Amino acid sequence: MKWLVPTLVAVVTLPACLRAQLEVSEPASEIPVVVPLNEERILKVIPDYQTVRDSHRLVAPMTPGEKWKLAWKEVVDPFNIGSAVLAAAMSQAGNETPRYGEGGAAYAKRVGAAIGDFGTQNFFAAGVFACLLHQDPRYFRRGTPSRLVPRALYSLSRIFITRQDSGRDAFNASNILGMAAGIGASPPPAAPDR
């Protein structure tokens, strides 16, 4: 049953993705610029690898190796590991997943599950599906500074819209399928002992 949601998402989204793949982009008048992964951090703490600051420049697509490197960097980043540790602590405090039990061993299981969930979602979204669907897993910041509401709406739209490797906007199937596949790969919750 846990395969049902990822399968339905794939059936619904893949035709649109494939249509977008078949569109031929117009030749660009500029030479694409290779943009390395952003090494800056938000508030000097939160990783910002995915952000491309100047979205009006013609940006060269990421190679499959660069997409995998991005996925790996996000998984092993100390901030993201710390976030998983904190999420596991909150889960432990609220006993949100009783099947893990209580105590140090249960907390270690929760930490492992949190890191595993994040890792598999990144593996599928930024690695597998971004490569297969020729989508760019980066976030292209909206151009010149504008008012708060348009920027916020643009940011929210990027959940569902991404750039193809060709530079065109497309449905963000790699991220949505990646999340669904990551969730589908998670072990199902066990029934509590009675």
Query: Is 161 a member of any domain?
Result: yes
pLDDT digits (tens, 9 = 90+) for 115-127: 999 999 999 999 9
- Whether the pLDDT of residue 28 is over 60: the answer is no
User: Which one, of 69, 32, 70, lies nearest residue 167 by Cα?
Assistant: 32
Q: Does residue 65 lie in a domain region?
A: yes
CB-CB contact of 172 with 161 (8 Å): yes
Print the domain residue range for 84: 4-22+40-185
Share of the chain above pLDDT 70, in %: 79
Q: What is the mean pLDDT of residues 64-71?
A: 94
169 close to 129: Cβ distance less than 8 angstroms:
no
Q: Is 27 domain-assigned?
A: no
Residue 179 half-sphere exposure toward CB, CA atoms < 13 A: 8
Confidence of residue 22 (pLDDT cuts 50, 70, 90): very low
Spatial contact of 88 and 111, defined as CB atoms under 8 Å apart: yes
Spatial neighbors of 117 by CB under 8 A, at least 6 apart, are 182, 183, 186
Q: CA 60, CA 140: separation in Å to the nearest integer?
A: 12
Record the tokens describing residue 70, joined without a space. Answer: 């991005």
Residue 147 — pLDDT band, cuts 50, 70, 90?
Answer: confident
Q: 190 lies in a domain?
A: no
Strand segments, DSSP code E, in the chain are 41-42, 46-47, 51-52, 135-136, 139-140, 161-164, 169-171
- Residue 177 forms part of a structural domain: yes
CA distance 106 to 92: 8
Which DSSP category does 57 fall into? S
Q: How confident is the model at residue 38 (pLDDT cuts 50, 70, 90)?
A: confident
The mean per-residue pLDDT over the stretch 7-34 comes to: 50
Tell me the residue ranges of DSSP E strands in 99-140.
135-136, 139-140
Question: Quick count: other Cβ atoms within 10 Å of Cβ 109?
Answer: 16
Per residue in 78-93, is it b (16+ CB within 10 Å) or e — as a string? eebbeebeebbeebbe
Q: What is the pLDDT of residues 75-97, one digit of tens each?
A: 999 999 999 999 999 999 998 88
Q: Is residue 173 part of a domain?
A: yes
The answer to whether residue 31 sits within a structural domain is no
Please report which confidence band the pLDDT of residue 181 belongs to, taking 50, 70 and 90 as the band edges: very high
Total structural domains within the chain:
1
- Per the domain annotation, does 174 fall within a domain? yes
Local structure of 159: helix, strand or coil: coil
